[in-house]
Chain A
Amino acid sequence: MLTILKKTAIFFFIGIIVLSCSQKKDIKSEPKVPIVDFEGLQPILNLKNDTTYVVNFWATWCTPCVKEIPYLETINGEYSNKKVKVILINLDFPNHYETRLLPFIAEKKLKSKVIMLDDPNANSWINLVNPNWSGSIPATLIYNKKERRFFEKAFELDELKQIVDEMLLLNNN
């Protein structure tokens, strides 16, 4: 009798452990800032819906990138009701995820979606973002279902707004 009780208790325990582990795993697989390889990123560069996406490639150590991030944040906020979404693709080294990227996001209170791209064989994927991209950052892909535009440069806010406005006009016509 005792052994049966013991066995049931053990099973119960194992059950709880397995359940809690799998729950933890679920949380881990959906972190606030996901780390993906290019295969994982590619669908985000090719979404087909009503939204206009502003996909910016950047890193915390890249001075011109950091300078234009507030402009991208402005777009993400001011244009949110116009179906515009900013996605910040971070290219910091993965060992700086905890020490640089997460503190940067917290300090700047970033509202835009951030994804870390960890795929060191850039020669295999740069052309798939845009064939005209030589590989320098900052670089920005702006796209919707009607139009794709690519910029290998840092923006000023006015210029970025103007381009997003043009893209919205194209999308709605």
Chain B
Amino acid sequence: MKKTMLTLSLVIVTVTLTFSQGYKIGDKVADFKLKNIDGKMVSLADFKDAKGYVVIFTCNHCPYAIAYEDRIIALHNKYASKGYPVVAINPNDPAAQPQDSYEKMIERANEKKFPFVYLFDEGQKVYPVFGATRTPHVYLVNKKGKDMVVEYIGTIDDNYKEAKEVKETYLTNAIDALIAGKKLAVTETKAIGCSIKVKK
């Protein structure tokens, strides 16, 4: 009995820890259902032909996110046909950041002609599961049989300021490695970003 209790409490502790810290490399991703800018509800399972997903927590207001918009569009245009579509998610609460409302998301997506889905994390239920802390924040997910596994977490490349001066394309390197069936050279990177806005 004591042993069971101990195991149970250990399990609870582990679960809470995992939950509060979000996904790590190798973790299985739980599917979600969020509203896209076209009004339809979208799940990862809806992408029938996908080999994986480039999940990017991003938003309208953040200058870092804006600096990466064109690069995210290019990334989707290059990799969606290869089985790795971009799934963009706005995690911010519009009550704390009015520029990131659902209506403004539609506006921005139309202005920039986003070729990818741009989902609204209404109620902020999904970003904590991933453990995203900033925008932009990338989770590269790969399908393995029935599972969806996190393979890379971090930034898109090593220069938010100037696309022309990028030397390390961390994210595309990781996707290319997945496509080639090779081991990923870099699985985690960091970048400065805007904190995810939560109403107090």
Among B81-89, B114-122, B159-167, the stretch that binds chain A is B159-167
**Contact status of A135 and B133, CB under 8 A, knowing A93-B63, A122-B192:** yes
Given A61-B63, A93-B63, A152-B133, A133 and B190 touching (CB < 8 A)? yes
Q: How far is the CA of A57 from the CA of B194 in the complex (A)?
A: 11
Partner of B195, one of A93, A122, A124, A136: A136
Q: Which of A64, A93, A123, A152 contacts B189 (CB 8 A)?
A: A123
Smallest CB gap from A59: residue in B: B63
Docked-complex contact B161 and A136, CB < 8 angstroms: no
Chain B residue, CB-CB nearest to A92: B63
Chain B interface residue count, CB cutoff 8 Å, equals 26
Q: A64-B195, A152-B133 are in contact. Are A126 and B159 (CB under 8 A)?
A: no
A120 pairs with B190, CB closer than 8 A: no
On whether the beta carbons of B194 and A62 are closer than 8 Å, the reply is yes
Number of interface residues of A (CB under 8 A): 25
Name the CB-closest residue of B to A138: B195
Contact call B193/A136, Cβ cutoff below 8 A? yes
Which of B133, B193, B194 is the most central at the interface, judged by chain A CB atoms within 10 Å of its CB? B194
* Per-residue B-contact encoding for A133-170, CB less than 8 Å = 1, 0 else: 11111100000000000001110000000000000000
Of chain A, the residue at the smallest CB distance from B158 is A121
Q: Which residue of A lies closest to B22 (CB)?
A: A134
CB pair A137 B133 closer than 8 Å: no
Which residues between 53 and 82 of chain B lie within 8 Å of chain A, taking CB atoms?
61, 63, 67
Residue B191 is within 8 A (CB to CB) of chain A in the complex = yes
The A-contacting residues of B in range 138-175, CB under 8 angstroms, are: 154-155, 158-162, 165, 167-168, 170
Report yes or no: B160 in contact with A120, Cβ–Cβ below 8 A: yes
Contact of B161 among A120, A127, A137 (CB under 8 A): A120
Chain B residues with Cβ under 8 A from A134's Cβ? 133-134, 190
Q: Are A126 and B133 in contact (CB under 8 A)?
A: no
Partner among B160, B196, B197 whose Cβ is within 8 Å of the Cβ of A122? B160
Contacts of A127 in B (CB 8 A): 190
Query: Across the interface, which residues of A come within 8 angstroms of B43, CB to CB?
Result: none
Contact with B159, one of A61, A94, A121 (Cβ below 8 angstroms):
A121
Complex Cα spacing A46 to B154, Å: 27
A169 to B44, alpha carbons, bound, how many Å?
A: 52
Q: Which of B189, B192, B197 has the most CB of A within 10 A?
A: B192
Complex CA gap A169/B159 in Å reads 41
| Residues of chain B lying within 8 A (CB to CB) of residue A123 | 154-155, 158, 168, 170, 189-191
Contact B194 A137 (CB under 8 A): yes
Chain A's nearest CB lies how many Å from the CB of B58? 13
Known A93-B67, A126-B191; 19 more pairs at CB < 8 Å = A63-B197, A93-B63, A120-B159, A120-B161, A120-B162, A121-B168, A123-B158, A123-B168, A123-B190, A123-B191, A126-B192, A134-B133, A135-B155, A135-B193, A136-B134, A136-B192, A137-B193, A137-B195, A153-B195
By Cβ-Cβ distance, the 9 closest A-B pairs, closest first, are A136-B134, A136-B195, A134-B133, A126-B190, A120-B161, A120-B159, A123-B189, A121-B158, A122-B192
Q: List 26 A-B contacts (CB under 8 A).
A: A62-B194, A62-B195, A63-B97, A64-B195, A64-B197, A93-B161, A120-B161, A121-B159, A121-B167, A123-B154, A123-B158, A123-B168, A123-B190, A126-B191, A127-B190, A134-B134, A135-B133, A135-B134, A135-B155, A136-B133, A136-B134, A136-B192, A136-B194, A137-B193, A137-B195, A153-B195
